[in-house]
Structure 1
Amino acid sequence: MQFDLSEEQHELVTFIRSLLQQRSDSTAVRRAIASDAGFDPEVWRVLCEEIGAASLAIPEEYGGAGFTAYETHLVLEELGYALTPSPYLGSVAIAAQALLASGNDEACARLLPGIAAGTSIATLAWGDAVGRWSPDTTDVVATPGEPWRLSGTVPLVLDGTAADVVLVIAQTPDGPGLFEVIAPEAIERDRTPAVDPTLQFATLRFDGTPAVPIAIGDAAHFDAVRDRALTAISALQVGAAARGLDMTVDYAKQRVQFGRQIGSFQALKHRMADLHVRVDTARTASRAAAWAVANDAPEVPELAALAKSWCSEGLDLVASETVQLHGGIGITWEHDAQLVFKRAHATGQLFGTASEQRTRLAHSLGIVGG
């Protein structure tokens, strides 16, 4: 595995970072959170039209730039660092990858160009009533016909209110299937308040909703979608953890107690050094999974589970220390420490907790049976 960035990747990171520093600072993030859309459409336009960030991992034959999921991963790290509200995770890193993993050329040719251009926002409706993401437990049932009909409810759908391309995993007589809703405007959508206000969730209700099948009965397809989602989420977590660490180090250099900067106290130095190690190892685990996804490596399931587990717990630790080492201001709305803390709690649950990932990893490696 090679994690040193190429010249093109360095340029990409520089462009994204510059954009977010200019247009997605703390004030802009709060303004976007409070808006009806939940994100800044102008930042989204620049990301997609001027930088081409949404097209990176989409092949050229489908209107993309023909790079890999690794470049998308680098964008997600920067979005995570800036805490930027954006449809990028749900639309580009999950829904678009679900289409690509399906192997359905017709659906890819029809839907991916709009996602790559940023003119369409896609979402994948998957979670069951208790918030699990598994094809075996989805609560939506697909009834065969011309067209197929979907019935059921899906909570915790990323960008579910804004999406004009709605993909749904549903149960069929032949096993789980991936479907595209024919008339997205007919779906009943309820916005779901989230712990992390920078993430937009919705509950979608289907009542005989017409849909077309994209892939049916391919268990490997759904495993691949979950692994790609876990890897993408870990990138957001790494970015947020790096943000929390940088904020804490900067504050420790400024805050004076007992006539000294608090960063000069050995006990706090040790704590921040430990955080640095956790952030660095989380980045390594996350990028290892991204490299495996980009190269179709056989280790993807193990590395994706490892990345999500390690990055979830790493961000949780960094967020807790960020709040504590900032003292009382760390929990106020006006300070960004609380956004890091909320990002840790929300993403730690998304597509499975650290404990669930370790269980999957143990089964995959044959450490436990079943």
Structure 2
Amino acid sequence: MRLTEEQEELRSAVRSLLTRHQGASAWGPLSEQIGAAGLAVPEEYGGVGGGARDVHVLMEELGRGLSPLPCLGSAVLTVGALLASGDEEACGRLLPGLADGTSVGALAWAERGSWEPDAIRAEAVPGPGGGTLVTGAKEHVLDWPVVDVLLVAARTACGVSLFEVPADAAGVRREPVVTMDGTRGQARWVLEAAEGRLLGADGDGGRSLEHVRDLACTALAAEQVGAAGRALELTVAYARDRVQFGRAIGSFQAVKHRLADAYVLVESARSAALGAAFAADEDPGALPRAAAVAKSVCSEAFSAVAGEMIQLHGGIGITWEHDAHRYFKRAHGAGELFGPPARHRARLAAGLGLTAR
């Protein structure tokens, strides 16, 4: 599995731009100059028309710097949900703004800590004026200061469906939450008889969400690989510079072994993440399994490498002044996002007729 020359050029362009623009200020240039917000949006809707491998490159670079940008929530989740719904009118109306970065979307989906469609209890019922009223509370919604497009998963008489709900509509309330990982904002959205518009076929939302979850796990796995790789780079550099007992600590065999083990974890995770991206582009039938593998492998690899980063940095690794704690917290938060590794191993086991451990 190899990326194309164009994709490697995309990597260089994204890394260069993120070096010049830090934090949230990078969203405008990244969208305008590289088209990052519309990488997965078809050209007919104003996007780049790229695939999962292009998104992989972008997310890996964003992961290296623990970027707070809304690419995962808007360019992957919201865009993916709109396309999966098959609602051409909504796609034509909403995707151009999402593609050029002038609007940001959020997918309100999880409830009670679960991203399984079966766990959805939010309800959508017919309103008195012929519309649909959505009521429920959504957790772990990836947040951004301004959300222009809000998609909500709710249950109707036909099953789980997707609805477009104006973010500023009556009965809609956003509650930002304090998370361990301060580099990725999350919010809780509460809806009380909020006016919603059905997207796609009624009762077809469960299928759409399962596909979106696979795309999200694939993109998140790439981000985890980028962050784990950068954590390892910083740790290797420190091991070369830190002198103890008259020698660089990286020259001690025990430290070499730990760094080598971390390198194997990163490269194994990279292979799993790339495998999911290739499956999304070339073999959609294999995507559910590949995405579950990638989410499980990359989550555990990132957590292990981030832990080693703190351990091998010694005392400075547990201070607020060093970035080690940021990588450790991102690893913990990303590992739980869209379901922990054990949940995805259970998905794999169920597909193989086995019992997960």
TM interval, short-chain normalised = over 0.9
Listed one character per residue, the Cα deviations across residues 228-282 of structure 1 (whole Å, up to 9, x for unaligned) are 1111111111111001100100000000000000000111101101100100010
Equivalent residue of 1:204, what SS? Answer: strand
Q: Distance in 2 between matches of 1:58 and 1:296?
A: 19
2:199 aligns to what? 214
* Alpha-carbon distance between aligned partners in 1 of 2:118 and 2:329, rounded to the nearest angstrom: 29
Q: 2:158 aligns with which of 158, 174, 180?
A: 174
Find the aligned partners of 2:225 and 2:19 in 1 and give their Cα distance. Answer: 18
Match of 1:155 in 2: 139
Structure 1: any 5+ residue segments left out of the alignment?
30-39
State the match for 2:3 in structure 1. 5
Aligned position for 1:348:
335
Structure 2 residue aligned with 1:192 = 177
How far apart are residue 101 of structure 1 and its match?
1.3
**1:190 to partner: Cα distance:** 0.9
CA contact (8 A) 2:108 2:153 kept: yes
| Secondary structure class of the residue paired with 2:211 | helix
Report the secondary structure of 1:119's partner residue.
coil
Q: Percent identity?
A: 50
Instruction: For residue 160 of structure 1, report the CA deviation from its aligned partner.
Output: 5.8
TM-score normalised per structure 1: 0.92
The offset of 1:297, in angstroms, is: 2.2
Structure 2 stretches lacking a partner, 5+ long: none
Q: Cα RMSD between the aligned structures?
A: 1.4
1:133 matches 2:112: no
Please list, as runs of the form range in 1=range in 2, the aligned pairs for 1:77-156 lying within 5 A after superposition.
Answer: 77-129=60-112, 131-145=113-127, 146-156=130-140
What amino acid does structure 1 have at the position aligned with 2:61?
E
Question: Is 1:17 the counterpart of 2:1 in the alignment?
Answer: no
Deviations, residues 299-358 of structure 1 (Å, cap 9, x unaligned): 111110110000010001001000000001112111111110001100010010001110
Deviation at 1:74, TM superposition (A): 0.8
**Structure 2 residue aligned with 1:302:** 289
* Aligned match for 1:328, one of 292, 302, 315: 315
- Opposite residue 350 of structure 2, the aligned amino acid is H
Q: What's the counterpart of residue 35 of structure 1? A: none
2:186 counterpart of 1:201: yes
Matched, 1:55 2:38: yes
Cα offsets for 1:140-180 (capped at 9, x unmatched): 11112422110011111101653110000111100000110
Q: Secondary structure at the match of 2:2?
A: coil
**Secondary structure, in 3 states, of the residue corresponding to 2:189?**
strand
4+ residue segments displaced more than 4 Å: none
CA distance in 1: counterparts of 2:135 and 2:332, whole angstroms: 31
For residues 193 and 119 of structure 2, the distance between their equivalents in structure 1, rounded to whole angstroms, comes to 19
1:318 maps to which residue? 305
| CA-CA distance at 1:183 after TM superposition | 5.1
Q: Which amino acid aligns with 1:362?
A: A
What CA deviation, in whole Å up to 9, does each residue of 1:39-88 have, x standing for no partner?
Answer: x2x31000001111111111011111111121011100000001111111
The AA in structure 2 aligned to 1:287 is L
C-alpha contact 1:161 1:202 (8 A) present in aligned 2: no
Counterpart amino acid of residue 20 in structure 1: L
> How many pairs align?
351
The 3 A distance-change label for structure 1 pair 222 and 357 is same
Taking structure 2 as the reference length, what is the TM-score of the superposition?
0.95
Contact 1:183 1:210 in 2 (8 A): no
Q: Structure 2: how far apart are the matches of 1:98 and 1:291?
A: 20
Report the 3-state secondary structure (helix = DSSP H, G, I; strand = E; otherwise coil) of the residue aligned with 1:156.
strand
Kindly indicate whether the alpha-carbon contact (under 8 Å) linking 2:148 and 2:167 is maintained by their aligned counterparts in 1.
no
Q: For 1:247 and 1:139, how far apart are their aligned partners in 2? A: 44
Does the Cα contact within 8 Å between 2:149 and 2:167 map onto a contact in 1?
A: no
- Alignment partners' CA distance in 1, 2:261 and 2:123: 48
